A and B are shown apart, each in its own frame.
Chain A
């Protein structure tokens, strides 16, 4: 079945460490997105990519980096510059057509230890 796979499900980061969250989709979707969710809050957009080798900053991009070398993959790196990275991270994708919808992954919960 087609879908979005995020890994790992749980991730622990030490202070000053960079970590990378994986997001892979086999839906042949063009656009991919990363959202951050803090407890009791809505989702905020970190980065998004409409096509391979191109991406744009969202509302809270500071301390994060992404790449889009393949259509299926959109990894997110949480750098040491992100001072409060503990959150739930959701990846999403969207097909580029008139009748489009978003598909969300199952999420990665990142905790700083």
Chain B
């Protein structure tokens, strides 16, 4: 059974600081996604990582993937209050022509002034 673990579960950080969210998964993955969720809202797609060593950046967020270690990271640079949200990683596995996402538990990020 695929397990996806994120840590930390809750992160309170000051504006301007850097931090990293970690996503570990237990089996070989075809691709890995990062999503953002604001309270009461749906998921917003941030990144799709397709292969080992993939790195993607958008603004203050950068995601990377190490398939050998089964680890993805979401790095936050110089945090701002607008980044406060819950962040999920999700692992996508294609088996017998069926693909489905398995989500981590999420990391609730609170950026304080």
Contact = CB atoms under 8 A, between A and B. Distances in A.
Contact of B101 (A40, A45, A88, A109): A45
B42 A94 contact: no
User: Chain B contact residues (Cβ within 8 angstroms of A): what range?
Assistant: 20 to 34
Contacts, number: 49
Contacts of A45: 100-102
Given A35-B103, A104-B43, 11 more contacts: A31-B99, A42-B104, A43-B43, A43-B88, A43-B101, A45-B100, A45-B101, A56-B98, A104-B42, A107-B41, A107-B42
Interface of A: 31, 33, 35, 40-45, 48, 50, 56, 58, 88, 90, 92, 94, 100-102, 104-107, 109
The 5 residue pairs across chains A and B that have the minimum distance between CB atoms = A42-B103, A43-B103, A104-B43, A42-B105, A106-B42
13 contacts: A31-B98, A31-B99, A33-B100, A35-B103, A42-B88, A43-B43, A43-B88, A43-B90, A43-B103, A58-B100, A92-B101, A102-B33, A107-B41
